[in-house]
Amino acid sequence: MPAPINQLKQRLLRRESSLGCWLSLASAPVAEALAHCGFDWLLIDAEHGPNDIQDVFAQMQAIDAARAHGAHAQAVVRVSRNNAALVKRMMDCGAQTIMFPAVETEKDAQLAVASTRYPQDNNNGIRGISSVVRAGTYGLDKSYISTANAQASVIVQVESPKGFSNIAAIAATEGVDCIFFGTSDFAANMGHLGNASHADVQTAIAYITAVCQQHGKAVGVYAPDVEVAKRYREMGINFISLHSDVVWLTRGATAALSGMR
């Protein structure tokens, strides 16, 4: 059978609203539990925190297991850098949607797209080929390699003034499905470390959103709470992370303790 239809990619292409959550704890049970909560996607963060390739593999298995029992969350993997070798391993494990940090130029965006595609029909793809990986059902799915490219999806993060200055070219890059605004790093690079709510940062988010809409591309952002997430959605941002597994754990615990004390 062919590669599974990437429903998240279709939602991004249609610029439909979707809600997700960051996975930072490198825990398959946590990933599975959150998948049952109703999120549209769960991002396994291999840039920050303890997630390594085995953790990513296990969490994708857990998310798929939840989908088999009625959940609809899909896995997204953020790699640590724009590197084809890293992307190849994540996609071999079954990832279809990859997030790339610190994309600053059109060339960076083109490399990101190429690393998610097998060489096919003169497409400049550079993804290495193995026929016995989990993504291809360990070699049992003979049609995976010929159908995988159509389901591959790329999300690029713009996190610096240089990326901001090149946003139109990045958004116009064929194969980029979503531009994700890295609020924390961008705020720091603008001289507002730890203050992503600063007016300069919010103005930049609004500008990037408008440029991406002109190019028909979805826009994503990480929201610290529900009220901020609602405001981002009203701005036209489609792909919103409702914080992270670790924060929901610590917020819930500290709120309960505070209530008891």
Percent of the chain surpassing pLDDT 90: 92
Query: Does residue 40 have a pLDDT over 90?
Result: yes
CATH assignment of the domain containing 93:
3.20.20.60
For 136, the token pair is 């291809």
Q: Is residue 255 part of a domain?
A: yes
* pLDDT attached to residue 111: 98
Catalytic residues: 48
Q: Is residue 242 part of a domain?
A: yes
Residues 6+ apart with CB under 8 A from 240: 17, 18, 19, 20, 220, 221, 222, 223, 229, 232, 233
Query: Other CB atoms closer than 10 Å to residue 2's CB: what's the count?
Result: 13
Burial 9-39 (b: 16+ CB within 10 A, else e): bebbeebeebbbbbbbbbbbebbbebbeeeb
Q: What is the mean pLDDT of residues 66-76?
A: 96
Q: Is residue 191 part of a domain?
A: no
Q: What is the mean pLDDT of residues 185-205?
A: 89
Query: Does residue 127 have a pLDDT over 90?
Result: yes
* pLDDT attached to residue 190: 85
Q: Is residue 182 part of a domain?
A: no
* pLDDT attached to residue 106: 98
Backbone angles phi, psi at 179, to 5 degrees: -110, 125
For 245, the token pair is 């597994």
Whether residue 162 contacts residue 104, with contact meaning beta carbons closer than 8 Å, is answered with yes
Q: Is residue 2 part of a domain?
A: no
Whether residue 63 contacts residue 95, with contact meaning beta carbons closer than 8 Å, is answered with no
* pLDDT attached to residue 63: 98
* pLDDT attached to residue 186: 83
pLDDT band at 196 (very low <50, low <70, confident <90, very high): confident
Supply the pTM of this predicted model: 0.96
Residues 6+ apart with CB under 8 A from 194: 184, 187, 188
Place of tokens 């297991």: 65
Q: Is residue 129 part of a domain?
A: yes
Q: Which of 256, 221, 261 is nearest to 242 (CA)?
A: 221
Q: Which of 187, 168, 180, 164 is nearest to 219 (CA)?
A: 180
Name the average pLDDT for the chain.
96
C-alpha to C-alpha distance for 91 and 208, rounded to whole angstroms: 28
Query: Does residue 1 have a pLDDT over 80?
Result: no
Supply the range of the domain harboring residue 241.
Answer: 7-151+221-260
pLDDT band at 191 (very low <50, low <70, confident <90, very high): confident
Q: Is residue 244 part of a domain?
A: yes
Q: Is residue 124 part of a domain?
A: yes
The beta strands (E) that lie in the chain are given as: 18-23, 41-45, 74-78, 97-100, 153-158, 176-181, 218-223, 239-244
Q: What is the mean pLDDT of residues 76-95?
A: 98
Q: Considering its fold, how many domains does the chain have in total?
A: 1
Q: What is the mean pLDDT of residues 224-249?
A: 96
Which residues are 187's β-sheet partners? none
pLDDT band at 142 (very low <50, low <70, confident <90, very high): very high
Whether residue 153 contacts residue 173, with contact meaning beta carbons closer than 8 Å, is answered with no
Query: Does residue 2 have a pLDDT over 90?
Result: no
Q: What is the mean pLDDT of residues 31-40?
A: 98
User: What is the distance of C-alpha 239 from the center of its chain?
Assistant: 9
Query: Does residue 76 have a pLDDT over 90?
Result: yes
Whether residue 78 contacts residue 47, with contact meaning beta carbons closer than 8 Å, is answered with yes
Query: Other CB atoms closer than 10 Å to residue 127's CB: what's the count?
Result: 21
The number of residues making up the chain comes to 261
pLDDT band at 189 (very low <50, low <70, confident <90, very high): confident
